Amino acid sequence: MKEFLKRNFWAGILVLVPISLTIYIIVIIFRAVDRILAYLPAKYNPQTYLPFPVPGLGLIFAFLIIMLVGFIARNYIGSKIIGLWEGLVNKIPFVRSIYVATKQLIETIFLKTDQNFRRVVLVEYPRKGVYALAFTTGMSKGEIQDKTHKKVVNVFVPTTPNPTSGFYLLVPEEELIFLEMNVEDAFKLIISGGIVTPEEKSKAV
């Protein structure tokens, strides 16, 4: 009986905690984004014309603004305006560092380009016999290859549970262990500290 209650209790925890946390985080996001509407003049604020506050209206408004800015940025005039803005920002030392770092981080996380994480690898770090999960970001070029006389790979070793920070390493290709795991599963594994383990891909017979 005791074992039965224990199993049911933990089964309930495993179901309810993720659901509760998900709902809680969504509510926080909705409330935070809804505060955007408070900065609008009353005649432009859609909440003014509604009999009661509608949760998530700020999120819809933010989405429309993002889509509008994206549309403008993709056309000729918009790209010119952004080019002028970035040219101005690049002339301000401190602001330039923040802007460039933020832009590169956003591009790395949200855009799938050749500059993003390509393969998941194991690298012996921080010492021999200890392995860290890492991502290859491309091949090193120029002076680095000439000085090392090896085929050196750019490797990013993320930290847990915040994978946006980490270490940049230059590792000879033959010292890397390439995995079949995809980047998304690797991020889940890193963020969870090894608790969420991706399923092994079935091997072809």
Query: Which DSSP string corresponds to 40-102?
Result: S-GGG-GGGGSSS--TTHHHHHHHHHHHHHHHHHHSHHHHHHHHHHHHHHTTSHHHHHHHHHH
pLDDT, position 204: 43
pTM: 0.50
pLDDT, position 110: 66
What would the pLDDT profile of 145-167 be if each residue is shown by its tens digit?
A: 888 888 899 999 999 888 878 99
pLDDT, position 116: 59
Phi, psi of 196, rounded to the nearest 5 degrees: -90, 105
Whether residue 205 is predicted with pLDDT greater than 60 in this model: the reply is no
For residues 47-69, average pLDDT = 81
**Higher-pLDDT residue of 57, 22:** 22
pLDDT, position 114: 45
pLDDT, position 131: 96
Rounded distance, CA 134 to CA 121, Å?
5
DSSP one-letter string for 120-171 = EEEEE-SSTT-EEEEEEEEE--THHHHHH-S-EEEEEEE-SS-TTSEEEEEE
- For residue 138, list its beta bridge partners: 154
What would the pLDDT profile of 112-134 be if each residue is shown by its tens digit?
A: 544 457 799 999 999 999 999 99
Confidence of residue 169 (pLDDT cuts 50, 70, 90): very high
Mean pLDDT taken over the chain: 83
Buried-state track 111-134, b at ≥16 Cβ within 10 A, e below 16: eeeeeebebbbebebeeeeeebbb
Q: How far is CA 175 from CA 128, 151, 166, in A?
A: 11, 10, 19
Lowest mean pLDDT, pick from 29-33, 115-119, 185-189: 115-119
For the chain, give every domain's residue range: 57-110, 119-191
Whether residue 45 is predicted with pLDDT greater than 90 in this model: the reply is no
Whether residue 111 is predicted with pLDDT greater than 70 in this model: the reply is no
**Higher-pLDDT residue of 154, 59:** 154
